[in-house]
Amino acid sequence: MSQTQPSIGEALAATVPMVRTLNLAFGETTAERAVLRLPDQPDYHNHVGGPHAGAMFTLAESASGAIVLAAFGHLLSRAVPLAVRADIAYKKLAMGPVTATAELGRPADEIVAELDAGQRPEFPVRVSITREDGAETGEMTIWWTLRPNA
């Protein structure tokens, strides 16, 4: 039995079945940035042969969750991170594998200060979805909260 902590990717794959279902691959995962990749899989194609909009939504939401865990995972004994709403824009046709890059929309220390002050902070995570040629095919903003534990 390993005494090391699982990576964020391993933790998400173990606890979020959709991460495993879509075979999402974790690249960089830090408190500043998370990068996930959705491989090209015919089972998850849409009517034009690219990744289905729902698969791209799940990719982006998973990237946002990875950065939230990286930035606030040390607070899990005090608060539960929850996605509260999301907006997504599909900008160009996505074909082949796509990558989601997530970034926090507010400084983590401000968010923690609100939690420390007894508030329930909300904060955006912005995600860019790109195809292999670098073209941005979508953008998403997911609003998260840290709900204090009772």
The whole-chain average pLDDT of the chain stands at 94
pLDDT band at 2 (very low <50, low <70, confident <90, very high): very low
Residues 6+ apart with CB under 8 A from 65: 12, 16, 81, 83
Q: What is the pLDDT of residues 31-62, one digit of tens each?
A: 999 999 999 999 999 999 999 999 999 999 99
Q: Does 1 score more than 90 pLDDT?
A: no
pLDDT band at 3 (very low <50, low <70, confident <90, very high): low
Domains and CATH numbers, the chain: 8-148 (3.10.129.10)
Give the CA distances from residue 100 to residues 59, 79, 147, 150, in Å, rounded to whole numbers and listed in that order.
Answer: 7, 26, 25, 33
Q: What is the pLDDT of residues 120-140, one digit of tens each?
A: 999 999 999 999 999 999 999
Q: What is the pTM of this model?
A: 0.93
10-19, 93-102, 103-112, 127-136 — which is least confidently predicted? 10-19
